Every structure is written in structure tokens, then in C-alpha cells.
Chain A
């Protein structure tokens, strides 16, 4: 559906996007994940024909971005990051304007899309009076008015409150059942919550391209235990815990007063928590807290982008 080959974009001396190659199949929800400044927005802008690539080829559907940009724009719905829709227009007029440009003639379509995006009640309001959440919904309605096959969303949940984030994510999931969606984000839980597939980019390069399930399960055998312990200092805690079977790494992640919070990375098949509890009891430490986590995308992401895991 979307094929990107050796896509590169320079801004003067800065290489914002460096040799990206990936393909996206029909019906997938793909997350483009990376820290700020990784080149996500630049990539999306090239897919939507707003920016011209310095080199490389982008094909969307049957069309190439450099050969038939108008045809590409016709089959795409795009929501830019800050949702820069005209402030001085009423929501209905704005959607009507976009529908007219797109040649959408069905008079019921605007009402239909308003219902889907949950903006029926605010159709008569000025865009600049809207809350961030509603603005985002109007942006989504704008992107979907012509029922595009491909939806490209740049940071669709940025600046929203937690309830709005859940609502927008559900909406994206719902739409994603029938459409191909690419969304960019720097929030990992967003990818876990909404995407089938994730492309992690850093400094303009792809560092990981795989399904979300594959990433979490391949690193999933690594278990992390967080424990808050009182009555001992970190070196002695580290020394004692290190002796346990299956401990890969112990590090201090916090501490307050006499308390020390440690993170224990394990690769053991069995649960290490009982062993840690016994170790604490034998040494006369006080165990305040203990929790067990699967290796999260958050960590994988950190390893890949900072640890030079590419």
C-alpha cells in the first residue's frame, strides 16, 4: 500500500531523514516512534507531498509522490501535528470547505463524519473557541471526510488530557479496522495501545521495524523487579542480590532517607521475588515494596535509541 525506498531529506547541512526504507501493508496500523527531532514529522510530510524528498522514492497506492502528487493527496487523509485548521471559520463551514475541495458531493457525509468523530454538538462553533480535544476531533473529521484508504496522523494525541487520549485511541482503533493508518508518536504506550506494527526511528534512521507483539515477546522473557529496601546501603544490597541465580543486573533507581530503591534485571525463568524476600529477611533488611514488570517498550526504546542498539 505504501512503499518507501531510501528516503532522505536534508535541511541545509542537517540530515533530518536518512535513507529510510519500509513498506506498509493494507489494513495495518503502524506507529512511527521516536524521540522529538527524530524525523517523524519530516517523514510524514514527505509521504503527504508537503515536503519534497532530497532523494528516494515514495509510492502510495498506485501513485508516486514525485509524479502524481495530486492523486496521492486524493487518497490520503492527513492530520498535521498542531492541527492548524482555520480559526476564523465555523466547524461546519470548515468541513464543508474541505468536502468541496475534495469533491465530496454526498450531503449527508458531513453529518456522518461529525457523528463518527463525536463533534455533532459543536458544528456551529468557531474553530478557535474549541478545546484542544475537540480541535483534534475536527482535525480527524477533516482528514476522513472523503473516506480515504490511508490515514496519516502526526502525534494525534499530543496535548490531550488522559480521557481524551483514550477516546481518540479508541476512535483510531475503530477506524483502523477498515483503513491503513500511520501515526507518529513519542509515547510508547500509545504504540502498545493502538498499533499492530512499530517502526522506531532515531536521528533520521530506522532502528527497529517489527510487529508490536514480536518486540514485546522477544524481550518479554526479561523480567524486571523493583524493590524498595530499608536498613542497608546500596553496595551491600547489590552484593547480596547479585549472588542470586538468574540476576543479570542490579542498579539503584531511587531512594529516600534510609530507603534504597533498586531495579533488578533478571533472565531467570522462575520468579525471583521469593528469593529476594528471603535474602532481605536473612540480612535483617526491611522490605517496603516489591513489584515485577515485563520488559516494557519504554526500556526497549531507551536501549535502542540511547544504547546504540541499532
Chain B
């Protein structure tokens, strides 16, 4: 009974945040920007129209960078606005724990980011009409995309808990996400011995594995552990910055 009550509060917070997303313009702006960018990658840069290759690789390859910018834009207001307006005082004097707040906001962002992916299923439909699409990488790609969205959401919520200023929260979020994404590209400068270790920290490596259609527990654990660290970090900051 106690544990049901526990999840209830978390879900109430999630629901409230989702409602606010869809009743304010910011969600729609981010949604539109995301679809425009991914559409550009899909229709303009992808080999699909030039070579008639039936695959979505370009889209999935671009996703970590696109998400690095759009997800922090989705999450930036979640806690920093509460701090700015003072409503955090009301929230934290209701019978909820800091974990309820951090998880509720993280889940709301994850659901929202996952919903952003839904319209991109149009690309899948388009490609599969024209050519024969290999379902493995597509399914893997979407599972990876949701995990990636969740991971960036947790980072974004963490960034949002740091500052009262949404713009600063956004920049910190983008900074962390981009760094994790870019580690892959810098491996090249490192001595061969430590490349493997650094590669493991890079987000692109794990995302690529999954989007090839190979679901490995090591990759899943990578994403889940970043989420855990970010959520616990958020809890810690909410507790200390009062």
C-alpha cells in the first residue's frame, strides 16, 4: 500500500508536467524544430533519394547531436522555473520527497521526448513503401532513441536543478550531452591503449551498437547508469539548495 502511494505522487507530478507541456507553446516549438531538423537529415542528406537505399541510418546517426540540443530545451524549465518563481517552496512543502520530484520531472520529459519520435515513424513508412527495409536496425534504432532521449532527459533535469536561469540550465544541459556524444570523435587523438576505456564512456558507441539492432545488456546498463547518476544528482541538489 505504501509503495503504491509512493509511485502515485511521482506520477501525479509527471502528469502535471505533461499537461503543462501541451498547454504552453514551448513544447510545440521544440517539436517543430525537431521534426524540421530530422526531416532535413532524412530527406536532404540521406542517400535514400539519391541511391534508393532503404535505410534510416543517416537519421539515427544524426539523432545524438539533434537530441543534445532539443532535449535540454524541453527540460530546461522543469526545475529552474520552480526555483525562479518560488513554487519550489510549495512543491517541497507538499508531502513529496525530492526523489518524487526528480523522478516525476524526469519521466515527464522522457515521455515527451518519446512522443517527439512518433511522427518520425513516417520516415519508416516512406522507406518501407519504396524499398525492402531491414526491420532489425529500425527497431533497435527506436529502442536506442528512447533510451537516448531518457538519458538526455535525466541530464537536462539535472542541469535544470542547478540554476534559476533557464538559459543557463539549457547551456549546461547541452554542454553535458554534447560532450558525451562527442567523446567518440576525439578517441582518435588518444593512444591506442586507452581508447577502449574512453570509448566505453562515449555515448555514441553504445547508441550505435543498439541502432545496429544488437541489444546488449552492457549498452543498456550504460544508459541506465547515467540516468541513475543524473537523477540522484538532481535529488542531492534539490536537498542542498534550499
Contacts and interface: CB of A to CB of B under 8 A. Distances in A.
Nearest to B23: A88
Contacts of B96: 70, 101
Contacts of B94: 73, 98, 101-102
A73 B95 contact: yes
Contact of B93 (A48, A71, A88): A48
B86 A80 contact: yes
B119 interface: no
A50 B89 contact: yes
B95 A100 contact: no
Given A70-B95, A103-B8, A142-B90, A97 B16 contact: yes
A102 B24 CA distance: 25
B12 A101 contact: yes
B230 to A, nearest CB: 23
B29 to A, nearest CB: 15
A50 B12 contact: no
B5 interface: yes
A84 interface: yes
Given A86-B87, A88-B24, A49 B93 contact: yes
A89 B90 CA distance: 15
Interface in B115-159: none
A102 B90 contact: no
Interface in B13-56: 13, 15-16, 19-20, 23-24
Nearest to A87: B85
Given A50-B242, A89-B20, A101-B13, A84 B86 contact: yes
Interface size range of chain A in the complex: 20 to 34
Contacts of B62: none
B236 interface: no
Contact of A73 (B13, B86, B93): B93
B189 to A, nearest CB: 44
Interface in A84-110: 84-89, 93, 97-98, 100-103
Interface string B73-108: 000000000000111011011111100000000000
A51 interface: yes
Nearest to A75: B95
Interface string A241-263: 00000000000000000000000
B90 A88 contact: no
Contacts of A142: 90
B9 interface: yes
Given A85-B90, A88-B23, A51 B242 contact: yes
Interface string B221-242: 0000000000000000000001
A279 interface: no
Given A51-B242, A70-B97, A101-B96, A80 B89 contact: yes
Nearest to B97: A70
Contacts of B93: 48-50, 73, 76, 78, 80
Contacts of A71: 95
A101 B86 contact: no
B12 A100 contact: yes
Nearest to B86: A84
Given A82-B86, A93-B19, A103-B8, A50 B92 contact: yes
A31 B145 CA distance: 56
Interface of A: 45, 48-52, 70-71, 73-74, 76, 78, 80, 82, 84-89, 93, 97-98, 100-103, 142
Given A73-B93, A78-B90, A89-B20, 10 more contacts: A48-B93, A70-B96, A80-B86, A80-B89, A80-B93, A84-B89, A86-B85, A101-B12, A102-B94, A103-B5
